[in-house]
Structure 1
């Protein structure tokens, strides 16, 4: 869902005195006195002493004169300087959330020095507000978190009413926005090498009789030459480009060796081609999507540039092979009902051909509703016609966004949630072209349990991800427990990546995630076997971001052919450990620190199902750490991650 901040609210925020402080001699610090810029909020802006819509703070019919109106996901972290004694507040959904859709669901949490001190659980429209009363004696920090209840921010108009912090004395230092201590850059090994190497998935599936396109991801200095032994019938390899094309002649599995050669030598990699029905996306799809960078400002030139830079930056050489146009490309229909691209896309077939000429896949976007989220033409009641149009243009990937389908759906029953995706899934399957189907409906109805049965290959499991820590933390870690629904061709999509220059167009900014948060981001997505779609200006990626996106040992975990997604095996306060079994018999293990301070985290073999002495390798550093008996411990930075591979490969 894309919700733009209302200009009047922004003006109201600017007119608010953000630097107000308690009068001398008072022992109460009201939350509405905080600098509102310190509140990080996914959508819109928070307001002092007003609800998000601009009205009074009202919950369960009662009006509150003081407090903060906010929308999920939002977070405020305050430095208490050890001089606070108590926090209290009345929290809940504002009465204005009781609208026609009644879809607001939120969860308030209070964390004190990285330990949870209070939690409302999930509150829905109509639930009575809750009261917090938290002891802060001796505490250094307090984190006030409003989560989205596990779905989206829609309708999440919530209040921290009568929120205040009591101080030890009238001379106590007032709380101030928390400022994280400077942290060293995380250690990420460079992936640059002049020697030849092949990267990317070890398996690829396609349907016999349909166009086949695969670019061998390979690196190395100078001119590369490609070869493959025993390609299945119907396929051919261009030895100069490494692009495999043609049509598979029949069903079956072919195991072969890919080879790349340059002046410094050669490298091989095993590769399996699976020809059959329903064999698409056997590993999580990877590529680039226009939304997080350009939003509705996307156009033909920007998409062509993205294809150019995906190759030029070296990202295509590591398996990023999709170029996807998100919202804002349609312009209604012609007199035959055919979808029309708008003036920004003069020839969609020519654009697809350009992308295909580089060995890349072409993706596009639509909605099952009458309109897309950006208010452009959707596919409602034209599903078969649009699927045929997409196939004729050469589309390889469709992102299908729920958006306005609420306006035509009877309700959000499971049958109604499945209906539009089954219709389009059947329409795509009827085309003589392989098209990966990405369901985008934010996890409604536990889509991870049924997305595959309606023809989906990947499905969004959350609301939108923005470059904000609380947002990343919430949507990323809520995936624990959903890993059992992942299998080849069925992937949980935790949304597009928010690294590099982003902005949702046209004005861009460097990601607001810290370097450690970015490492955690990619680590968590790789552990989950999540699709990896970059949402950045590829022409402006710095060396750190390139290294982050091209660590082949991390990518190999993401693309592991066993297709067993990782899950949480241990947690304490704001630290946790995830593990993921790999096809070679080893285990990928990630140590996560979600807290404000660095923490020493120990991966114990007993928690991982291991015994005895085990070899440990740091994947981000691409370095063997040695053999360890019983476990391995390391200091993990705030909002950071360490990614390990443990065990002896078969």
Structure 2
């Protein structure tokens, strides 16, 4: 995976005057790949270096697949009025957007910051935002004169360079501000209280010893019409170690989001800090106690290989399960709903599931397809990376598995996938891959996951090292595949990473080769292992991913929890969409809902609640693997409602296996249409603008002219339409997801 863990907003303005309290660094940069100590010197002549575009990685600026060292240089005058006009005058701060993956920063030849403030070496991966603070009297600073800033970067793999990644990214020089280390912590969950209320507490925090004394303004706004619904101002005092807590309760007036604005103003300095968030609203109907059988209508396995399938059923337990028509070799546990065994003969076997509880009985027609193709519908599961990064361990995986079994498996979710960070430093004496101390018993962990009726996934790279610097499968493909089989692994994510060391400038054949090699190794193992190709969409992988045996293939770089990242990826899947088919699906990367963080520290996703509805809707329309990336041990009510809407999941899991195509594209909205196996269609009306807007589709339009029923899938109710159009008022960055029927 290309490690993208942090996001910021790029400022395209030119040089800002000192009165604006910052100096822009957004223009004037040059860069070169390679490494030389001379490049830090202010006297070095960089006239022949390439002009740098801070909106782009260096791969997209003429250096495809380049990993290693590169340098950026710029020249800037730092006026002394910057210091004179500031409230605090002791420190200067350099904001350098995002660095991929690690850096050293020189001013006029002197090292002033490195590694993002972390330890280690420059070759240790440390992707993320960069901000360095130095004393205003540091002799490296030449006040009122030209300063040369040089940034040495090392890229460990995937994309590289110094660049903006969207929301909040700064390239400037400014004085340290009294509000620099103040945070409006909104990380607590909203709680659903009595009388249709939403309750929450937020905190004003700082690491400073400065005593902040001022006012906290609280305001609730309806973004549909701009009406202020509630506002209040409170006294607020806090300092390091003594936060200020503000608790509130507001009414949920309708099924939509409202905007909350928190503004703290410090009386002594006159400085303010503002943060906004939106309120959650649940569209998925409250679950019924009556039995409902969910999930896909088909499941594929290869002849003779171990079979594992949990019948997904919701309602009040306990259940009694039956399955009529099971092929020879399979058996059902009537108490758990888990089907196990192996089937020797190829064929499509029609089966009828029956699930009963005290309130009634439901049946469902199902097909068990025994043949060469597995993964007939996109994978539904969890992957550890977006929450835990390299801090994943046995305990976190077990917690995730237990949570999936208790809360999500009844809706079809089945895979528990360990991403990077599980591998030991060295192989065993016989060359076998072994797990590190965080995973003391990988076979035991897999057995535990299987005991819950779930499937287990793992991660590797075709190169010598993974993206996180752990052991890859280079020249050990057969051994690793057999080890995975011995452990009972059901899913392999295979990430390009350091294979660039083997093939630094790969042509199409070289892009395919490592994935073909592992495909051959997996074929020697008597186990169904879903094969996920992760190489970021290079070489238009959607054109050939199925040919080399991939069950899914990444079409993009790593996703981040911002609208810019999610929408930019999701709405650019048009070229890949026609290649989706049963057993072979485009993968626009994992979900970024819930609590994410890419390491031990987690935060609520930065996607608004409307944007999260768009995220799940769009990925389902695209027939994408739905791989949850959040902390499964902390599923709040809203996130759980996103992941348990069976009608939305059914669109993703539709047996036809087609992906939606972009039907309408305007500046401020898009319409995507997906064909379904029953002859209906799923349609997403997406508002891509920052304001509420009305989106209409003419009923005579070919997309819907043959249909008379329009079902709001999130609310699971039919829409009463009059007139000649299907019309919806859609929230900013929101969606109306409709299923049309005859």
2:394 aligns to what?
Answer: 300
Shift of 1:533: 0.6
Which piece of structure 1 moves more, 420-429 or 598-607?
Answer: 598-607
- TM-score, reference length from structure 2: 0.67
Residue equivalent to 2:618: 524
- Work out whether residues 613 and 628 of structure 1, in 8 Å CA contact, stay in contact via their aligned partners in 2: no
**1:589 aligned partner:** 683
Number of the residue aligned with 1:266: 361
**Which position in structure 2 is the counterpart of 1:442?**
536
How far is the alpha carbon of 1:222 from its aligned partner? 2.5
How do residues 6-155 of structure 1 correspond to structure 2 at under 5 angstroms?
Answer: 22=17, 32=23, 61=48, 70=54, 72=56, 153-155=159-161
Q: Distance in 1 between matches of 2:433 and 2:27?
A: 46
Match of 1:383 among 461, 470, 477: 477
| Pairing partner for 1:550 from 624, 640, 644 | 644
Q: 1:343 to 1:584 in 2, by over 3 A?
A: same
Residue 205 of structure 1 is matched in structure 2 by 300
Q: Secondary structure at the match of 2:719?
A: strand
1:210/1:557 Cα in 2 relative to 1: closer, same or farther (>3 Å)?
A: same
Q: Distance in 1 between matches of 2:365 and 2:566?
A: 35
Distance in 1 of aligned mates of 2:371 and 2:501: 38
User: Is 2:575 the counterpart of 1:481?
Assistant: yes
Instruction: Report the secondary structure of 2:720's partner residue.
Output: strand
Alpha-carbon contact 1:193-1:220 (below 8 Å) kept = yes
Shift of 1:626: 2.2
User: C-alpha displacement at 1:481, in angstroms?
Assistant: 2.9
Displacement after TM superposition at 1:614 (Å): 2.1
CA RMSD, Structure 1 to Structure 2 (Å): 3.6
Cα offsets for 1:561-619 (capped at 9, x unmatched): 11111011011102110001111111100011111112211123454433266221111
The C-alpha deviation readout for 1:13-62, integer Å capped at 9, x for no partner, is 9xxxx9x97567xxxx89956xxxxxxxxxxxx97876799989x99858
Q: Confirm or deny: 8 A CA contact 1:51 1:70 kept in the other structure.
A: no
- Aligned to 1:388, the other structure's residue is in SS state helix
Distance 1:266 1:452 in 2: 40
SS of 1:346's partner is coil
In the alignment, structure 1 residue 355 sits paired with structure 2 residue 452: no
Q: Which residue in the other structure is 2:669 paired with?
A: 575
Equivalent pairs, count:
540
Show the counterpart of 2:288.
193
1:41 maps to none
Task: Report the alpha carbon displacement of residue 152 of structure 1 after superposing the two structures with TM.
Answer: 6.9
1:327 lines up with 2:420 in the alignment: yes
The verdict on how the C-alpha distance between 1:516 and 1:98 changes in structure 2, with shifts beyond 3 A counting, is closer
The match for 1:245 is: 340
Cα distance change, pair 198–477 in 1 and its aligned pair in 2 (3 A): same
Of 262, 276, 280, which aligns to 2:374?
A: 280
1:603 to 1:323, Cα distance in 2 relative to 1, 3 A: same
Taking the aligned partners of 1:72 and 1:95, their CA distance within structure 2 comes to 7
Structure 2: gaps of 5 or more residues: 33-38, 71-156, 173-271
Structure 1 CA distance, aligned partners of 2:455 and 2:65?
A: 42
The correspondence of residues 405-554 of structure 1 with structure 2, limited to 5 A, is: 405-409=499-503, 411-554=505-648
Partner of 2:496: 402
Paired with 1:194 and 1:513, the residues of 2 have a C-alpha distance of 32
Alpha-carbon deviation of 1:181? 8.4
Task: Check the 8 A contact 1:93/1:157 in 2, yes or no.
Answer: no
CA distance in 1, matches of 2:69, 2:622: 28
Partner Cα separation in structure 2 for residue 552 and residue 587 of structure 1? 16
CA contact (8 A) 1:47 1:69 kept: no
Give the SS at the match of 2:546.
Answer: helix
The secondary structure found in structure 2 opposite 1:403 is coil
Asked whether the equivalents of residues 323 and 354 of structure 2 are also in contact (C-alpha less than 8 Å), the reply is: yes
Deviation at 1:280, TM superposition (A): 0.4
**Alpha-carbon contact 1:462-1:495 (below 8 Å) kept:** yes
Distance between the aligned counterparts of 1:480 and 1:4, measured in 2?
23
Contact 2:301 2:307 in 1 (8 A): yes
> TM-score when scaled to structure 1?
0.76
Residues 229 and 182 of structure 1: CA distance in aligned 2, closer, same or farther (over 3 Å): same
SS at match of 2:434: strand
Within 5 Å, give how 1:558-637 maps onto structure 2. Answer: 558-611=652-705, 614-628=708-722, 630-637=724-731
CA spacing shift, 1:428–1:481, aligned 2, 3 Å: same
Give 3-state SS (helix, strand or coil) of 1:256's partner.
Answer: strand
Alpha-carbon distance, 1:69 to partner: 7.5
Matched with 2:329 is: 234
How far 1:233 moved relative to its partner? Answer: 0.7
**Larger helix percent:** 1
